[in-house]
Amino acid sequence: AIGGTAYLAYGVWDLRHPEEQFEPDPSKKNLVILGTGWGAVSLIKKLDTENYNVIVISPRNYFLFTPLLPSCTTGTVEHRSIMEPIRSITRHKQAAVKYYEAEATKIDPERKVIMMDDNSDVKGTANKTEVPYDMLVVSVGAENATFGIPGVKEHSCFLKEIGDAQQIRKKIMDCVETATFKGQSPEEVERLLHMVVVGGGPTGVEFAGELQDFFDQDIKKWIPEISDKFKVTLIEALPNVLPMFSKQLIDYTESTFKEEKITIMTKTAVKKVTDKTVEAEATGPDGKKTVEVMPYGLLVWATGNAVRPVVKDLMSQIPAQKDSRRGLAVNEYLVVQGTKDIWATGDCAVAGYAPTAQVASQEGAFLARLFNTMAKSEAIESQIHELSSTLNLKPGNPGEIATAIEAHEKQLRRIKDIKPFHYTHQGSMAYIGSERAVADVSWLNGNFATGGGLTYLFWRSAYLSMCFSTRNRVLVVVDWLKSKAFGRDVSR
């Protein structure tokens, strides 16, 4: 009975059998989608795949539910719980979708091909090839911004992918274990237990909150000798953290961090990083600048996004992209400016919105609607064409055919009337530690700013409902219960 329930929960009845292999249909267009993140997956979910030869290329063969990534760094949530295999997503589609685990290294808009490399650790004889496209969607996201600051790439941990979260989780425990090594000097203990987070955007704030929770709720219990030595510092170049939230919630976050004993250093910009120190320049109220060198054990770099090389390279080939700096400039239908058959969504596109999951997923859904409509209107156009030639052939019976053509044309006008992309902001939320969250929510035409324990429950239920599948939802709930009941796992 449990097995049966699980099958129902998966929606297995509407799965296509994997044996139904993908055979490209030469009469259909090749629609190539680069990426398996928010934009790409939301497009795939809503796309009528029977209209195109759909090919997905991404170095990551799963979708990652990024809002819960900071929770993975401390084991509040296990990483597999927020991953959904791309093949389980495409199996729900009406017509097969081809997936290649590869990194797109170059887009050639002249020849209309994608060059890709097999990015797996296991190499076969074929590991570099080309895929032709008729229509292309670039949803490759962005990479971590380092602003060329020396030492950042070499010494810090980022927080974008599952591997980053795993690396952080291991490093937290490495620092704690090494700090308690017999004979460790007090200065070295202090350094090892100093956890520095650079960037006071939602990523940095959520991670700092999760880290302090891990320490207060678990590490301290098991290793009490370090209880007064563990320290989290958040460094932000601007005058306050979470600049996208309302003033009231910024104040609430800053006072909660004070209670949690997280040090916030605002108006402080990191200028250099070495293997053991962070050098930051603070601007005082009088405008005077002072430089501070802080020893650290773990450094997490969360200063936002930078353009990926494959996107930069594409931009350099299109003259209309000359003035765009932050990514591919797109028009109101998400068509890459200067092209006719390339679209872009999410963090690699510049459409006038913040680089968030919410924007990317609405853009993906919009493109699915657009492509479904394009396919429908092409089908109707060819019907009209066929009917018109019949009309010419059979001059004796024009009335019926002409009426049919008229009806088709009316339907075509209705379908073609697709409005440009419009983003609907539903709000922003962030977890700030000690079971509190902040939320700026747009609801019933109003904006509500709320913070605290109830907001935390709202945050949890909202994120749970946003999880990709029922399987993910069940796994996340089990992880939450597990870490509440038994504490987080403090093994490395």
Binding footprint of ligand NAD on the chain (CB under 6 A):
67, 149, 198-204, 235-238, 243-244, 269-270, 302-305, 354-356, 428-430
CB 203 within 8 A of CB 210: no
Cβ-proximal residue to ligand NAD, closest one: 201
Nearer to ligand NAD, 282 or 401 (CB): 282
CB 58 within 8 A of CB 40: yes
Please give the Cα distance from 81 to 132 (Å, whole number).
35
The edge-to-edge listing of strands for the beta sheet with 268-273 is: 268-273, 277-283, 289-295
CB 32 within 8 A of CB 139: no
Nearer to ligand NAD, 12 or 244 (CB): 244
Q: How far is the CB of 202 from ligand NAD (least distance, A)?
A: 3
CB 384 within 8 A of CB 409: yes
Phi, psi of 395 (to 5 degrees): -65, -15
Three-class SS state of 418: coil
Q: How far is the CB of 372 from ligand NAD (least distance, A)?
A: 29
Q: How far is the CB of 54 from ligand NAD (least distance, A)?
A: 28
Nearer to ligand NAD, 355 or 487 (CB): 355
Q: How far from the centroid of its chain's Cα atoms is residue 457's Cα?
A: 23
Q: How far is the CB of 318 from ligand NAD (least distance, A)?
A: 25
Map tokens 């949530």 to a residue: 77
Q: How far is the CB of 110 from ligand NAD (least distance, A)?
A: 33
Nearer to ligand NAD, 102 or 328 (CB): 328
Nearer to ligand NAD, 236 or 479 (CB): 236
Pairing verdict, β 298-301 and 194-198:
parallel
Structure tokens belonging to residue 95: 């017509």
Structure tokens belonging to residue 107: 């887009």
Q: How far is the CB of 66 from ligand NAD (least distance, A)?
A: 7
Nearest to 207 by CA among 78, 304, 64, 71: 71
Nearer to ligand NAD, 354 or 407 (CB): 354
Nearer to ligand NAD, 151 or 202 (CB): 202
Q: How far is the CB of 445 from ligand NAD (least distance, A)?
A: 21
